[in-house]
Amino acid sequence: MCDMLLNKKVSEINHNKLIEVTVAEQNIISEMYSSIIQSVFNCYVPKKKICRAIKDMILVETLFKDPYGIKKRAVASLDYLIYGFSLFSSIIFPLEVTDGQHNTFVMFYIPLFFVTIQVSLMH
């Protein structure tokens, strides 16, 4: 699907650029989330903290960009050494995901909306 729509492989997409927003958009998003959190959980979260979370997510996406799969393997080995399970390496995008039936799936995580979308690429 990425090949068809963007003429790129998943590993070639700059996720940090996809979620980058302007200061005005950050303010709108932070106001929206602050209001939702207040009304649903009856808990106040300052808009500044939500803006900071957006910037942090962009930073994480930049640091964990791994077009060759090297960072994922290195971080996974450290995870297993320290924690005994995959922790931080699960944040890094895989190059591709298969279901064991020769169907390839591409996972998209949209952090601002806390949603994971799975797209099947049938061969």
- Distance, C-alpha 47 to centroid of its chain: 21
Q: Is residue 78 part of a domain?
A: yes
Q: If pLDDT is split at 50, 70 and 90, which confidence band does 47 have?
A: very high
Give the pLDDT mean for 98-116. 49
**Residue 3 domain flag:** no
Domain assignment of residue 29, given as a range: 9-121
pTM: 0.62
**Among 12-16, 40-44, 57-61, which is the least confidently predicted range?**
12-16
Residue 55 lies in a domain: yes
Residue 98 is predicted with a pLDDT of: 55
Give 61: exposed, middle or buried? Use CB within 10 Å, 0-12, 13-18, 19+. Answer: buried
Report helix, strand or coil for 97: strand
The two three-digit tokens of residue 51, written as one number? 């803006």
Please measure the distance between the N-terminal and C-terminal CA atoms of the chain and give it in whole angstroms: 11
Structure-block tokens of residue 56: 């942090």
List, in order, residues 6 or more apart from 85 with CB less than 8 Å away.
79
Share of the chain above pLDDT 90, in %: 31
- The domain tally of the chain equals 1
Asked, for residue 1, whether it belongs to a domain, the answer is no
The verdict on residue 34 lying in a domain is yes
